[in-house]
Amino acid sequence: MKTLEGIAKQPGIAIAVAAIVDATNGINSVSTVLLQSGISALRSGSSPSDYAEAVIACDSLAVGALTKIPGINTVGIAAESDTDAPDLAIEVACVIGVADLLTSISEGDILIVDGYKGVVHIDPDPQTLAHYQQAEERRRLRQKVFITSEHIPARTQSGETVAVYARLSGSSRLEESLSAGADGLLVDLRGSREDAGAISKRVLREAAGKPVMFVAESGCAEILRAVMAYCTAGQVMLVAEDADLLASHIEAAMDTIVLEALQLDIDAPSVNAGRIAHAGACEPTDPSLVVIEAADCDIEGLPRMREETIVAIGGRLGSIEPLVSAGIRRVAVDPDRVAEAKYAIRSIGSEEAIQFFESSNPASPE
């Protein structure tokens, strides 16, 4: 691998095969293999989104910006000259002023154009390639936004916002939960037959910025690796019945994870740890208590909790109103009850709330 420094012109990351062009030869300098790939794409009627990709390596930005290779998508530009081209719109990752660029590239080389740092990597080693691929995936995930109406947080008639989490067993019903507009995910990994690393990767890829809690007793290292690849700081929390033991597992795993982060030149994962407990065994003064499992318990007996506490009620939506009245601002429900739970929250304080919660709470036997 060879790394050349230049001037960052347009932010972004581009990873693709080099297409060498200059003012004298134009696209005649481009690899015949790449040219043939473009011609084949045109002949087969392929969609432009399916065209092969290339990074234009050129003598000047003007040449690179004006070069169009038939059937090939330009995803980045690296120019040897530092001369700008202010009249041309540059919409791909671009670095200019890269000395000795054209003499350093061979036909078929893979280039990485880092338009943030102003560097070009030629024939990158596997570690560097993996670093940039992961960085781009994280960046794309953070740009993903849930904008449809079901993802609007639910507020009571008096203005309190109550987050509705979907409680999952492993990664099953993940898509259903997100489609229903879950504000966050409570993912129970205890007893799951799926690999903790595979579950956490899938969940965190799809959650795209939503807060996620993993109930975990093992597999901390794999979860932390997934957090490092896909998450922002503070997005993920791990909880277990023994919070102190969990914290020690996280600390031990971090010794290895931090070294991996340094090697990849990325930030180490940042997660919090807490405790999950059944409603009948709650200590309201326990600062580590984060999740209360109350699906099968009488919530009337719950002590007053911090509003940051999540109360998991399963399908018992009739519990929502008293919980909100008691100060709880986060509830976890079954995936198929997310939309209904949000409706219930929005109804609190209205006349329809009485009818809803009466129908959700069966009458006690006389």
Secondary structure of the chain as H, E, C letters = CEEEECEEEECCEEEEEEEEEECCCEHHHCCHHHHHHHHHHHHCCCCHHHCEEEEEEECCHHHHHHCCCCCEEEEEEEECCCCCCCCCCCCCEEEECCCCHHHHCCCCCEEEEECCCCEEEECCCHHHHHHHHHHHHHHHHHHCCCCCHHHCCEECCCCCEEEEEEEEECCCCHHHHHHCCCCEEEEECCCCCCCHHHHHHHHHHHHCCCCEEEECCCCHHHHHHHHHHHCCCCCEEEEECCHHHHHHHHHHHHHHHHHHHHHHCCCCCCEEEEEEEEHHHCCCCCCCEEEEECCCCCHHHCCCCCCCCEEEEECCHHHHHHHHHCCCCEEEECHHHHHHHHHHHHHCCCHHHHHHHHHHCCCCCC
The verdict on residue 26 lying in a domain is yes
Give 366's pLDDT tier (boundaries 50, 70, 90): very low
- Give the mean model confidence (pLDDT) for residues 338-358: 79
pLDDT for the residue 304 = 64
Q: Is residue 53 scored above 60 in pLDDT?
A: yes
Contact, 190 vs 216, CB < 8 A?
yes
Give 356's pLDDT tier (boundaries 50, 70, 90): low
The verdict on residue 131 lying in a domain is no
- Residue 40 is part of a domain; what is its CATH number? 3.50.30.10
Q: Is residue 71 scored above 90 in pLDDT?
A: yes
Q: Count how many domains the chain has.
A: 2
Cα separation, 15 vs 124, whole angstroms: 10
For residues 93 and 150, which has the higher predicted lDDT (pLDDT)?
Answer: 93
Give 230's pLDDT tier (boundaries 50, 70, 90): confident
The verdict on residue 351 lying in a domain is yes
pLDDT for the residue 364 = 42
Are residues 207 and 341 located together in one domain of the fold? yes
Are residues 77 and 186 located together in one domain of the fold? no
The verdict on residue 156 lying in a domain is yes
Q: Which residue, 124, 157, 188, sits at the end of a domain? A: 124
Are residues 201 and 316 located together in one domain of the fold? yes
Cα separation, 276 vs 262, whole angstroms: 32
- Residue 208 is part of a domain; what is its CATH number? 3.20.20.60
Contact, 137 vs 229, CB < 8 A?
yes
The verdict on residue 94 lying in a domain is yes
Contact, 317 vs 334, CB < 8 A?
no
Q: Is residue 286 scored above 80 in pLDDT?
A: no
Chain position carrying tokens 């931090």: 258
Q: Is residue 132 scored above 90 in pLDDT?
A: no
- Give the mean model confidence (pLDDT) for residues 79-100: 94
Cα separation, 129 vs 253, whole angstroms: 25
For residues 332 and 151, which has the higher predicted lDDT (pLDDT)?
Answer: 332
What domain range is 327 assigned to? 149-360
Are residues 22 and 155 located together in one domain of the fold? no
Hey, what's the torsion of the CAs at 99, 104, 106, 112, to 10 degrees?
-60
The verdict on residue 310 lying in a domain is yes
- Give the mean model confidence (pLDDT) for residues 74-82: 96
Give 363's pLDDT tier (boundaries 50, 70, 90): very low
Q: Is residue 253 scored above 80 in pLDDT?
A: yes
Q: What residues contact residue 146 under an 8 Å CB cut-off, 6+ apart?
A: 178, 181, 208, 210
Cα separation, 318 vs 21, whole angstroms: 68
Q: Is residue 145 scored above 60 in pLDDT?
A: no
Task: Tell me the percentage of the chain whose pLDDT exceeds 90.
Answer: 52
Predicted confidence (pLDDT) per residue in 26-52, tens digit: 888 898 899 999 999 999 998 888 899
For residues 240 and 127, which has the higher predicted lDDT (pLDDT)?
Answer: 240
- Give the mean model confidence (pLDDT) for residues 127-141: 73
Which tokens belong to 86? Answer: 């202010």
* Mean of all residue pLDDT scores within the chain: 86
Give 172's pLDDT tier (boundaries 50, 70, 90): confident
Whether this model's pTM surpasses 0.85: no
Beta-sheet pairing, 161-169 with 330-333? parallel
pLDDT for the residue 140 = 60
Are residues 246 and 352 located together in one domain of the fold? yes
pLDDT for the residue 299 = 63
Ranked by mean pLDDT, which of 75-89, 249-263, 348-362 comes out on top?
75-89
Q: Is residue 306 scored above 80 in pLDDT?
A: no
Are residues 52 and 99 located together in one domain of the fold? yes
pLDDT for the residue 218 = 82
Are residues 113 and 172 located together in one domain of the fold? no
Are residues 223 and 158 located together in one domain of the fold? yes
Predicted confidence (pLDDT) per residue in 185-216, tens digit: 999 998 777 788 889 989 998 888 899 999 99
Are residues 120 and 153 located together in one domain of the fold? no
Are residues 181 and 304 located together in one domain of the fold? yes
Are residues 108 and 249 located together in one domain of the fold? no
